[in-house]
Structure formats: structure tokens, C-alpha cells
Amino acid sequence: MPKGEALGEFEYLVMLAVLRLGAEAYGMRVRQEISVRTGRDVTIGAVYATLERLADKGLLRASMSQPTPERGGRAKRSFQLTGAGMEAANRARQDLVNMLEGLEFPLPGGTP
Amino acid sequence: MKWVKRIAIVLAVLLIVPMATLLVLGHRKNAGLSQTSVEISAAPDQVWAWLDDNGRLKQWVSWMVDARDSDPGEPHGIGTKRIWTMKDENNGGAEMEIAGTYSEYAPPSRMTLQIADKDGMFNGETSYRLVDLGGGRTRMEVRLRAHYTEWFANLMEPVITPAAEKKLAMDVGRLKRLVEARAAAR
Amino acid sequence: MNPPAWAQFVLWAVAGENQAEFVAGDLHEEFLLLCAERGPSAGSRWYARQVLRSAAALVGLRFRSGEAAHLAAAALVAVAMPLVLLDRLWSFVYSHIPLKDGLARAPGFLVANVVCVCACAAVCGSLAHTRGRAAGVAVAAAVGAACALWCSTATAPWLYAGLLIVAAPVSSMAVFAWRGWR
């Protein structure tokens, strides 16, 4: 795989959150999904920067919705994985599985 | 890149129009000539002392840090030389030497020097005329004609000359105040 | 119920026109939920923390989208550079005056500086398509003028400096507004 196509750790988390959320995958929901599942307090800025970067790479596709009152009358930008995004996510998972093969978790001395 | 092109066009227009104007103005009749005159409440010989004495010259020509005769001890006259050292604030405070050779010397009424700076940036002529108005009053007329050797300085001459004239008027105004204060103190 | 006004202002200032609406909408939505759960104070504190911690990432996004490049160009290329070049030109002129002169500039030269800067700032303003971008260009032009004044070797009256810093952004906004009315 050419250098630069591999997903960073946070990029992978964002893509997985987009995958989980389906049609509801927009900034705030992605941020909440990562926060709840990983315990990390991620910022909306970091999420948007990553979403834009993935969109620039062609791994995500953006779509606009109508403004709503609960958003202060502002539009929403939702994201979905593209075909290339699905392939990248599959590859990243396979890389992780290959690296984890033969290792036993939890590792001695670390917290589970 | 659209904004780069637009800014470049505006800058080009801002450059070409003034340059064309400067080229036209550079061919006017009085190009390079700065002149001023002032009436001083002092006799011509009192005013003359402030033009001829190196120590007094430094007091009314601003930015002059030194004035000396090329041949100390030799009396001023046609052919003798004076060296003026000016501090150039617009060139990082660098000191510039300007040499003036007397081409006319008739105290206390007329003095003309052919001037040139040491670095060859400009040459020209400066002349002082003192007219006795009677009753202890003198009219001093100063003319400075400069020619610039560098092509860009020649192009900018229509901008340089008015600034030089204003500078000349300020220095002559300072001279008037000094001469009159000294004359009143006597 | 609304988030703190200062935090909203900071968000719109750093996020840029491409992202501000979506980020503001997301934060507003979550702010309302938090206010309902934990109260308005907690909601406001959370909103402010999110804005401040997100600022660096959002500014970075602006650069990548080219918007910040436009603003930087407005400040540096269009305003600061011509002013610095003009300052060097006048220094050259003044250093060629026989019998020398000081650092104060003739009013005509100062007027030429102001005219040139207004023309360049107006061009930058003409290239902005949204109010947010025009405001950004205007601020960048003022900052560029201030930086060039700071680098200047000449002495400049306060009136001239103030006029330059005000005239640059006003020219930029005036052309933007004029284009909108045509």
C-alpha cells in the first residue's frame, strides 16, 4: 500500500463512528460516538478537521441537510463512507488483525 | 490565482502611470533647480559670515556633521575647495561627503560653488546672492541646481527637487533666525 | 437559550466561512442537550471550552481550504508589500537630496502611500464573495498596513498612521459593498 494511504489512528476511529452512525453521521454525533465508546474527550474541531481530510482523500462523501431550529437555524453536513473508504477501513482492520495475531490480551502489567 | 493577476495589474498601473508622468516632468525647463530667498534683518557682511565660516555653516545646515577646507589655512577664493560631511538619515545614518569648489567668490555679495558628492551620485552648482536692502537688511537668494548620475535618480528628479527646495527653505529659515538673533544680541 | 456570545464570535472568527455554519450548528445542538441535562452554566462552560480547544484545528482547516491564503495575501502582498516598497522608494528619493534631509516625509508622499494602499485593498475586497470573507480581508488589510508602518524607516504622523490603518479596510469593504449593490 503506498505511503499516505494508510489511516491514522484517529482517522480510523472517525471512519468507524461514521460507519456505526449511518445516516446520522455528522460532526456532533461522531464526536459523541467516539467520546462514549473510547472515553476520550475529543473536540469538535479535531473531528471536523479529520472528516475534511478523509473527504479530501476520497474516503468520505458529504451531503447537506436543511437548517433546523435545534441547530440554531443552521444546516447540517453529514458524511458517508465511499467505496474507497470501505476498502480503506477493511484494510486497516486486516492490518490490525495481522499485527494482533498470536498476542494475548490483556498484556501482563497493563490495565485491561 | 485570480487575485494575484488583479493585484499585479493594479500595481502595474500604479507603476506605469507615475513613471510616464515623471519622464515627461523630467524634461521641464527648471528640472533639478531648487531656489529660495529670504529677507534677513542684518547687514550683508553679517550674513556672509554664516555662509563662509565652516563652524557657523554647521549650525544652520541640518544633518551637516562636519565642514572643512580642503587646504586649511588657504584663504577662500576661486578654485579653493570645501568638504561638507552630511549624515544621511535615509541611508541608515551613513556619512556622505560633498565637495564644493568656488567658481565665484565676491564677499559679501556673491558666492558660487560647483558641488559633487564623493560617491558620484550627483553634481551641480549652488549659489548665494546677498542684496543690500539698506537699513541693516539683506535679501539672500539661494539657487541649487543638481544633476543626478544614476538613471533612477534622474527619473525621480521631479519628486526629489521639490523636496530639496523645501529642505533648502527650512535651512535658510534657520539661518535667518540665527543671524537675526546674533545681530540683535550685539 | 443561546451559547455565550463571545464564544460564538470567536468560533465564527476562527472557523472561516466554509466550516463555521456546520460547526456552530453542531455545537448549538449539543449545547441545548447539555443545558437540558446539566443546566445553562454547565452548557455555556462546555461550549466555550469546545470553541477554545478547537480553534487551532479550525484555523488549520482554513489554511487548507485556501481561505486563509486569500487573507494572508490581502495583508502581505496587497497592502504591506507595496507600503514597504514605497517606504524604500521615498528613502531613496530623500537620500538623493543634495545637502540631505530627515526622516519626515512630505505630505504628497504620504498621500501617495494612502492612495496606493486603498487601491490594493479595494482589489482584495473585490475578490471576496461573502460578507465573512470581506470582513476577514478588511481586517487582514488593516493588520498589513500596521505591520508595514511598524517596519517603516520614516517618521510618520499619528494622523497618517491612523488614516492608513482605517482607510485600507474601509476601501476593501466599500468595494465589496458596491459590488453587492450592482
The residues spanned by each domain of chain C are 5-64, 67-181
Asked whether residue C178 carries a pLDDT value surpassing 90, the answer given is no
Nearest to C116 among B14, B91, B156 (CB): B14
Inter-CA distances, B59 with A29, A41, B87, C119, Å: 79, 73, 14, 43
Indicate the pLDDT class of residue C27, thresholds 50, 70 and 90: very high
Is chain A touching chain B, with at least 3 CB–CB pairs below 8 Å? no
B32-185: CATH architecture:
2-Layer Sandwich (3.30)
Segment A29-46, tens digit of pLDDT: 999 999 999 999 999 999
What is the pLDDT at residue C158?
87
Sign of CA dihedral C48, C49, C55, C58: negative
Angstrom distance (rounded) from CA C103 to CA B89:
6
Segment C122-139, tens digit of pLDDT: 888 887 777 777 888 888
Whether A111 is covered by a domain: the verdict is: no
Residue A68 sits in a domain whose CATH number is: 1.10.10.10
Asked whether residue A81 carries a pLDDT value surpassing 80, the answer given is yes
- Tally of residues, chain C: 182
Asked whether residue C42 carries a pLDDT value surpassing 90, the answer given is yes
Asked whether residue C148 carries a pLDDT value surpassing 50, the answer given is yes
What is the pLDDT at residue B105?
94
Grid cell 529642505 is found at B167
Inter-CA distances, A8 with A52, A94, B54, Å: 14, 14, 78
Average pLDDT over residues B85-107: 89
Indicate the pLDDT class of residue B89, thresholds 50, 70 and 90: confident
Strand (E) or helix (H) holding B97: strand B94-106
List of chain A residues whose C-beta atoms are within 8 Å of the C-beta of residue C58: 45, 48-49
Interface size, chain A vs chain C, as Cβ–Cβ contacts under 8 Å? 72
Neighbouring residues of C179: CB distance < 8 A, sequence distance ≥ 6: C126
Neighbouring residues of A103: CB distance < 8 A, sequence distance ≥ 6: none
State how far residue C124 is from chain B, nearest Cα, in angstroms. 7
Nearest to A27 among C2, C23, C55 (CB): C23
Angle (CA) C153-C106-C102 rounded to 5° is 50
Grid coordinates given for C180: 453587492
Neighbouring residues of C22: CB distance < 8 A, sequence distance ≥ 6: A26, A27, A48, A74, A75, A76, A77
What is the pLDDT at residue A1?
46
Angstrom distance (rounded) from CA C159 to CA C162:
5
Q: State the alpha helices, DSSP H only, in chain A.
A: 9-21, 27-38, 44-56, 83-100
So where are chain B's domains?
Answer: 1-30, 32-185
Smallest CA-to-CA distance from A17 within A5, A26, A8 is with: A26
Whether A59 is covered by a domain: the verdict is: yes
Angstrom distance (rounded) from CA B15 to CA B36:
32
**Cis upstream peptide for A106 (omega within 30°):** yes
Angstrom distance (rounded) from CA C151 to CA C80:
9
Angstrom distance (rounded) from CA C96 to CA C107:
18
Whether A39 is covered by a domain: the verdict is: yes
Angstrom distance (rounded) from CA C112 to CA C146:
17
- Tally of residues, chain B: 186
Whether A3 is covered by a domain: the verdict is: no
Angle between the N-to-C axes of helices C5-38 and C40-65, in degrees from 0 to 180, rounded to the nearest 10? 130
Within 10 angstroms of residue A4's Cβ, the number of other Cβ atoms is 6
Q: Tell me the CB-side half-sphere exposure of residue C98, using CA atoms within 13 A.
A: 31
Contact A48 C56 (CB under 8 A): no
State how far residue C75 is from chain A, nearest Cα, in angstroms. 25
Domain count, chain A: 1
ipTM: 0.82
Segment C60-93, tens digit of pLDDT: 777 667 776 777 777 777 788 888 888 888 888 8
Mean pLDDT of chain B: 89
Whether A82 is covered by a domain: the verdict is: yes
Within 10 angstroms of residue B128's Cβ, the number of other Cβ atoms is 20
Residue of higher predicted confidence among C1 and B103: B103
Neighbouring residues of A111: CB distance < 8 A, sequence distance ≥ 6: none
pTM, two decimals, is 0.60
Q: Which chains touch A (3 or more CB pairs under 8 A)?
A: C
- Tally of residues, chain A: 112
Contact A45 C56 (CB under 8 A): yes
CA C143 to chain centre: 6
Mean pLDDT of chain A: 88
Whether A56 is covered by a domain: the verdict is: yes
Candidates B1, B3, B57, B156, partner chain C, best to mutate (most C CBs within 10 A):
B3
Between the two ends of chain B, the Cα-to-Cα distance in Å is: 73
Whether A30 is covered by a domain: the verdict is: yes
